[in-house]
Amino acid sequence: MIDPDYSHPEKEKAIAKADAKLKGFFQSQRVEVSRAIGKHLKAKKASADKDAEQRADEIIASLSWAVWDGLVPDFQDLLGSTGTEAVSIAMEALEDAEAGRDVFSLSNETVMEYARNRAAEMVGRKWVDGVLVDNPNAQWAITSSTREYLRELVCDALNSSWTPSVLAQKIDESIAFGSYRAELIARTETAMAYTAATVDVGKRVGATTKTIQMSNLHDVDDVCDAAHEAGEVPIDKPYPGGSLHVPLHPNCRCVEMVHVPKKGNVNGGATE
């Protein structure tokens, strides 16, 4: 019997490091952003002719978003090490020495490429000729959700004439730079990197289906239950609920297994 809550030391270490990195970054941003927006609030009268929405957009755009690029090298490392661990584990589960060496190195290349691209994408950027540039198509960028959280706060601040110190307090209380959000991002990004690696190895060795192994921390019925009940799903078809791979929702702790016909199953940690 496989313990569905089975977790790997490297993965847990990566989550803890990502979490600590984000918490530190959020803490400094909380101060910087409060200060920057506070200055704009003081200057409110100067542009009283504009409406709150428009002013909020200008204020949000004026914040220093480039500092988020500072997260990229760390996340590239963390997602890369999570991915390489997942590759090793999947290879062990495979017990196919012949397929071994090629698959191992090709999958590790994919994993490093994934880590490099995702670390950029998660802060709304992409690599072009070795330089980070804006990526308007970035998926699940934490910068865009941060913008949304802050935009709402700035609108409230303008409409309710908050003082800079009230605003600072509201930013402190908001989810935007909170520790809950830091952990959620750390878990979700790590899970995505982990699954990407497992699926890459799986495809290289002929896996055709996947299943969800649910975490035993899963106490509320959600999209994961439906995906689990669906049993083996073709590897390139979405689960019920529409997601292609684990994590199926933010903070999802489920593990995805991929299955090779007649060879057994490859997953993050166990074979059946």
Interface positions with Zn ion (CB under 5 A): 224, 252, 254
What's the closest the beta carbon of residue 249 comes to Zn ion, in angstroms? 6
Compute the distance between CA of residue 6 and CA of residue 57 in angstroms, rounded to an integer. Answer: 45
CA gyration radius for the chain?
21
Tokens representing 158 are: 């303008």
Nearer to Zn ion, 158 or 227 (CB): 227
What's the closest the beta carbon of residue 226 comes to Zn ion, in angstroms? 11
CA angle 231, 236, 237 (to 5 degrees): 55
Nearer to Zn ion, 223 or 235 (CB): 223
Place of tokens 């908001």: 174
Compute the distance between CA of residue 216 and CA of residue 127 in angstroms, rounded to an integer. Answer: 38
What's the closest the beta carbon of residue 228 comes to Zn ion, in angstroms? 8
What's the closest the beta carbon of residue 23 comes to Zn ion, in angstroms? 23
For residue 128, the SS3 value is strand
Nearer to Zn ion, 87 or 214 (CB): 214
Nearer to Zn ion, 67 or 184 (CB): 184
What's the closest the beta carbon of residue 254 comes to Zn ion, in angstroms? 3
Tally of CB atoms within 10 A around 91: 21
Compute the distance between CA of residue 46 and CA of residue 150 in angstroms, rounded to an integer. Answer: 21
Nearer to Zn ion, 18 or 252 (CB): 252
Nearer to Zn ion, 19 or 256 (CB): 256
Residue 246: C-alpha distances to residues 64, 120, 213, 243, 256 (Å): 33, 20, 10, 8, 6
What's the closest the beta carbon of residue 255 comes to Zn ion, in angstroms? 9
Compute the distance between CA of residue 266 and CA of residue 95 in angstroms, rounded to an integer. Answer: 9
CA angle 189, 183, 20 (to 5 degrees): 95
